[in-house]
Amino acid sequence: MTLYDFGWKPFFANQLELSELDTCQPARVTEVQRDAIIATTGETSHRLRLGGRWFQLDAIERPTVGDWLLIDDAGERIIRLLERSSELSRLAAGGQEQQLIAANVDTLFIITSCNDEFNASRLERYLALASNSGATAVVVLTKTDLADDPEAFVEQARRVSGYTEVVAVNALDAQSLTGLAPWCTPRSTIALLGSSGVGKSTLLNTLAGSERQATGDIREADAHGKHTTTHRSLHRLDSGLLLLDVPGLREVGMVGQAEGISSLFQDIDSLSERCRFSNCEHASEPGCAVRAAIDSGELDERRLRNFEKLKREETFNSATIAQKRQHYRDFAKKVRTAAHVKAQLLGGDSKRQPKP
């Protein structure tokens, strides 16, 4: 097996200096543990320690599953992280920082099921996350075999998905997965995203033709799963497809997705251009084109509310995180200056100037 079998492309090769190839080799991250990374060169899988310097960086600058790294020839040290072709991120639970879910993903299967788990507003949240990630999103509706009227779920999903394709499947049945074939090509990377219990690992197992990942029952009361998958992992199937299984997300907080949100909700944006007042809040102003669309049934009130909610949330979270980063930078600068002053007072060699 070679790097190419794990998705190596010119986009990554172009980032290498010739000299680096004398002492380093590229490897793709297949798993992230608390303080270590599992990465493969195609030939060998290496366990690399994630040293302290990485934890001084923002979480999105640390390696994540799907990333390409340069590692030393011995396969012991991470030299650097290569630029990503796509990035899936969200606000971490607890709202402390922007967190990566996966990198260098070609296609994102947003998975939801044809039962009580289905929720149009949550689906819009996932679509917003995907919208500016660099990956192509596909909505996959599972459990068609359990629904009385799966077509009704397909209809609802189409209403919110815009240009994104919607494919309905029974994840337990390989025959029913033919609709996914256009994206399941050798060497492409697909990430499976969705709430717990929607059938992400089941889909992986069926596409693999063997049990690669454990799957678990769902709760009868609300059709949600019990968080069977607990960590992210990249799997290479015999067909050559690379599938990234992700634990069911509990929260998909918006951060850094302003553009994603506006492109997903283009319909509302273009309606508001036709409102009489440019600062129309689509409440009770006269000549409101958005209200008119809701009254005529063209637009769901729910969709408008969710759009406003996601926008507010995104603005708030992005500002909070930017403030936190600035605070940390100011603090780090103070520490460096203090160390410099101390070195001078002690009469030490202080050629090293504090960084601005």
Single out the segment in contact with Mg ion by CB under 5 A; choices: 43-51, 66-74, 101-109, 229-237: 229-237
150 binds, among Mg ion, ligand GTP, Zn ion, none (CB under 5 to 8 A by kind): none
Q: How far is the CB of 47 from ligand GTP (least distance, A)?
A: 24
99 binds Mg ion (CB under 5 A): no
Nearer residue to Mg ion within complex by CB, 235 or 340: 235
CB 107, min distance to Zn ion, A = 36
Q: Which 248-277 residues touch Zn ion, going by CB under 5 A?
A: 275
- Shortest reach from residue 202's CB to ligand GTP, in Å: 3
Q: CA 90, CA 257: separation in Å to the nearest integer?
A: 9
Residue 282 interacting with Zn ion (CB under 5 A): yes
Any contact of residue 304 with Zn ion (CB under 5 A)? no
- Which of ligand GTP, Zn ion, Mg ion, none does 60 bind, CB closer than 5 to 8 A by kind? none
Q: Which is nearer to Mg ion, 189 or 233 (CB)?
A: 233
- Smallest separation, CB 191 to Mg ion (Å): 13
3-state secondary structure the chain: CCHHHHCCCHHHHCCCCCCHHHHEEEEEEEEECCCEEEEECCCCEEEEECCHHHHHCCHHHCCCCCCEEEEECCCCCEEEECCCCCEEEEECCCCCCEEEEEECCCEEEEEEECCCCCCHHHHHHHHHHHHCCCCEEEEEEECHHHCCCHHHHHHHHHHHHCCCEEEECCCCCHHHHHHHHHHCCCCCEEEEECCCCCCHHHHHHHHHCCCCCCCCCECCCCCCECCCCCCCEEEECCCCCEEEECCCCCCCECCCCHHHHHHHCHHHHHHHCCCCCCCCCCCCCCCCHHHHHHHCCCCCHHHHHHHHHHHHHHHHHHHHHHHHHHHHHHHHHHHHHHHHHHHHHCCCCCCCCCCC
Binding residues for ligand GTP, rule: CB under 6 A, are: 142-143, 145-146, 170-172, 196-202, 215-218, 225, 227-229, 247-248
Does position 290 interact with Zn ion (CB under 5 A)? The reply is yes
User: Shortest approach of Zn ion to residue 266 CB, angstroms?
Assistant: 16
Between strands 233-236 and 136-142, the pairing is unpaired
Regarding 280 and contact with Zn ion (CB under 5 A), the answer is yes
Dihedral sign (CA 78, 248, 139, 243)? positive
Q: According to the binding rule CB under 5 A, does residue 195 interact with Mg ion?
A: no
Compare residues 123 and 290 and give the one whose CB is closer to ligand GTP: 123
If the CB atoms of residues 17 and 217 are measured against ligand GTP, the closer one turns out to be 217
Least Å from the CB of residue 213 to Mg ion: 6
Q: Which is nearer to Zn ion, 242 or 290 (CB)?
A: 290
| 201 touches Mg ion by CB under 5 A | yes
Does residue 156 interact with Mg ion by CB under 5 A? no
Q: Least distance in Å: CB of 86 to Mg ion?
A: 22
Enumerate binding residues for Mg ion (CB under 5 A).
Answer: 200-201, 228-229
